[in-house]
Structure 1
Amino acid sequence: MGERKIEDLPLPYLFEQARKIHLTATESAADQEMVKKGCEALERCEEMINKLGLFSANETKDDIATTDLKYILVPYYLAELTEKISQDDRIQILKASQAKLKEFLSFCETMELVPEEELRASSQGGPNSFAERRAQKIARFNRQRAAQAKLLEVKEQKERRGRSTRATALSTPVEAGEEDLSDDDGEEEREAWLTTISLSICKAFDLLEMLKKEEEMLSAVKERQLKEGDKEFSQAILDERTKKAEGWHRDAATRAQYTKPAAPITCATFAQDVLEGRANVSQAHDHKHQPMIFGPASLIGGNLTSERDRMAAQVFQPSHRLPTMSIEEAGLREMEIMNKWQERNAKLMAEANSAWYKDNQKVQSGEEDDEDDDAAVQKARAWDDWKDDNPRGAGNKKLTPCG
């Protein structure tokens, strides 16, 4: 900022310098000295804005001059630069940054610059469900992308108009004192600053949520440290805990031994046992599958020595029942069962249709067949006698019209 004191610099120059520092710190890493200079410049801008009375609570965005719109961003830039300050007491930095963000959002709400969706969400105390938070994030991201696209469009229009103006000036020289600024330039500048403010509002809401979560985490850690007598969680303590955990697992692998589980009885094998006579259908059949052991106990075979070792051996077990055979094995087993059924049925049919089977059946029922033949002859004779006594149509004489 040169050799001049910060108190002697004009407001537009101060703001432009602070804006450049903010851009550098946002897009790339900036040293702490530069960040602190940016914070000092922005704080001085705030003092000058309040002293000049550029903004009033009775105004809206339409009442603010185009040249003054950019100064609305001073608290937002100050909040982002404050968050980048390195300090031992991080919680104080977070609180100061959050205060500036709230100040920026409150003033934008007064100027009617905050979207209605954000106002409704803040009035309800924020979204409660995960779906509502996700919808709010998506809507905010869409507004942010639209603002970025709008800024790029305005920048391209300004560059095209500048090239056209320069070409016109070269072709038709303008007399001194006849230069006139186009109204389109003023409208583009106003639209660009309003779009920049809308983009900053989206980023401010996201940054405020992030800083709140970080403050809660740091406060919880600090409270825990106070309860444990200001014990610091150093890397050495974490390494010691890691070594203890690894040693416990090694000891558990040595102690926790297990036996290889017997082959489980599945429905297919039980059906095969029934068909081959090794089991009966009435026998009780429990589908008990011995789970596979993972973790420390899977390293060394043997028996589990205690309940503690058994529980340690069951760490990282699958939550579902593991298959006892592959799909191909199950298909082959079913095909084997069906082939045996078909062979057995074919054998039974062949026995039933064989000559010795039929002859044997006739020999066994020979006497019964003779008695059946006599009864059939007597029944046929009785039926013939009845037909002789009752000729066909004899019972229908009363139905004839001339009878």
Structure 2
Amino acid sequence: MASVAESKQLSSTDKLPSLTKIFDSALKKHELINESEDPTNSVPYQELVSEAISLLEQATHMVNDLALFSSNEQIDEIATTDLRYLLLPSLLGDVSMKLMSDDRLEVLETGQAYFIDYLKRCKDYTITNQEIPTTESADTGVTSPTVSGPGRPDMKAMQADREAKIKKFKEKKERERKMKEMGTWLQIRDRDDEVQREYYKLMLESWVDKAIEELKSIAQEKQILQHMAKVQSTGHMAAAEPDRPAKTCKPMKPFIITRDAVQAKVFGAGYPSLPTVSLEEFFEKEIREGKIPQEALHPSSVVVEHGQQDDKPQEAEDDEDDPEAIKKARELDDWKDDHKRGWGNRYNRS
């Protein structure tokens, strides 16, 4: 009789071909997106993006179910065929950024979460030794020229930064050359294990550079959106955007690769720091639990009897035609001409 561990291994092996198929389909969709000449806001392009996101999320969910990655292992302990699945957060971040939505800020934050998660995972597995930004530092990660004093650029720092960029560019070109010599994704599977492993590591390093560049772009775009929102809120926008029918979109929630089974049970598929319910759902829950009275959301308005609102305007119209009212108004005007304001409150002063 097979043990529990053996049964689990057999069930995992049964699922692997399905995971491979889903991952390959997601890669094909990703390639089609990059090669597509359709406008990014066109229906075919957005359908392709949605399909790719769905496939990548399915693959992530299956990786978590299979527990392919553990928090106490090194990269050398990961099976060669499993190395490619470490790319899932970066691929999800890249595809999610191409999604058209009424809430662009939400799209940016989702992509940012994916890229940061990918970089953290690569650092944990010693694929990269670069400093990994947090969400807060990524938002302010737009670099400016280094200065050594008031208004004076630090020439040594600028030279060092330039040399670092040149070095990174050369490394990128050398990496691309090696990968091209090895072959494509499909061709590499027919090579021996050592060649496959090197190829996947090069691919992971390549996406580290891309993730860092994407985080810089996201930070810049978020600053622009926040500035535009501030301008709109203060009423300085030159022309209001024409009304468009509201779209009901499913809130975006990142799917991450969990490091172990305990994390999967505690945190689920997404980030615990992101909101899981809408504002309306939160208030409904608070009302059901009696924490917020029903009247707080729907304050009673003043009930006006039918016909009462038009009484004063009607009376004003009647006064305009009444000779007695006209006479009284003229007498009041004459009295005001002879009795200037403040004359009756001089406290016996001359």
- Report the TM-score range of the alignment, normalised by the length of the smaller protein: 0.5 to 0.7
Aligned with 2:228: secondary structure? helix
Among all aligned residue pairs of Structure 1 and Structure 2, give the percentage whose two residues are the same amino acid.
Answer: 28
Task: Report the equivalent of 1:28.
Answer: 36
Alpha-carbon separation, structure 2, partners of 1:128 and 1:143 = 24
Q: Contact between 1:143 and 1:202, CA under 8 Å: does it hold in 2?
A: no
Give yes or no for the alignment of 1:48 onto 2:57.
no
Q: Contact between 1:225 and 1:231, CA under 8 Å: does it hold in 2?
A: no
Task: Report the equivalent of 2:110.
Answer: 96
Task: Report the equivalent of 2:214.
Answer: 207
Matches within 5 A, 1:302-341: none
Deviations 1:161-180 (A, max 9, x none): 99xxxxxxxxxxxxxxxxxx
Task: Report the equivalent of 1:225.
Answer: 232
Cα distance, 1:139 vs structure 2: 3.3
AA at the equivalent of 2:126 = E
Task: Report the equivalent of 2:100.
Answer: 86
Deviations 1:265-299 (A, max 9, x none): xxxxxxxxxxxxxxxxxxxxxxxxxxxxxxxxxxx
Cα distance, 1:121 vs structure 2: 9.4
Task: Report the equivalent of 2:167.
Answer: 139
Task: Report the equivalent of 1:17.
Answer: 25
Return the match for 2:131 from 116, 119, 122: 119
Aligned with 1:36: secondary structure? helix
Structure 1 unaligned residues grouped into runs of 5+: 1-6, 163-180, 236-403
Q: Contact between 2:53 and 2:96, CA under 8 Å: does it hold in 1?
A: yes
AA at the equivalent of 1:218 = L
Matches within 5 A, 1:2-401: 10-29=18-37, 31-114=45-128, 116=129, 118-119=130-131, 129-130=145-146, 131=158, 133-155=161-183, 185-228=192-235, 232=239
Q: Which has the larger radius of gyration?
A: 1
Aligned with 1:147: secondary structure? helix
Cα distance, 1:9 vs structure 2: 8.4
CA RMSD of aligned residues (A): 3.4
Alpha-carbon separation, structure 1, partners of 2:61 and 2:173 = 33
Aligned with 2:199: secondary structure? helix
Identify, as 1 or 2, the structure richer in helix: 1
Q: Residues 120 and 8 (structure 1 numbering): CA distance in 2 closer, same or farther, change over 3 Å?
A: closer
Q: Residues 120 and 54 (structure 1 numbering): CA distance in 2 closer, same or farther, change over 3 Å?
A: closer
AA at the equivalent of 1:50 = N
Aligned with 1:17: secondary structure? helix
Alpha-carbon separation, structure 1, partners of 2:195 and 2:181 = 10
Alpha-carbon separation, structure 2, partners of 1:232 and 1:211 = 26
Q: Contact between 2:19 and 2:62, CA under 8 Å: does it hold in 1?
A: yes
Aligned with 1:119: secondary structure? coil
Q: Residues 87 and 62 (structure 1 numbering): CA distance in 2 closer, same or farther, change over 3 Å?
A: same
Q: Residues 75 and 29 (structure 1 numbering): CA distance in 2 closer, same or farther, change over 3 Å?
A: farther
Aligned with 1:210: secondary structure? helix
Q: Contact between 1:79 and 1:96, CA under 8 Å: does it hold in 2?
A: yes
Q: Contact between 1:15 and 1:45, CA under 8 Å: does it hold in 2?
A: yes
Task: Report the equivalent of 2:333.
Answer: none
Q: Contact between 2:97 and 2:111, CA under 8 Å: does it hold in 1?
A: yes
Q: Contact between 2:116 and 2:132, CA under 8 Å: does it hold in 1?
A: no
Structure 2 unaligned residues grouped into runs of 5+: 1-14, 39-44, 147-157, 243-350
Alpha-carbon separation, structure 2, partners of 1:62 and 1:153 = 24
Tell me the TM-score normalized by structure 1.
Answer: 0.46
Q: Contact between 2:116 and 2:133, CA under 8 Å: does it hold in 1?
A: no
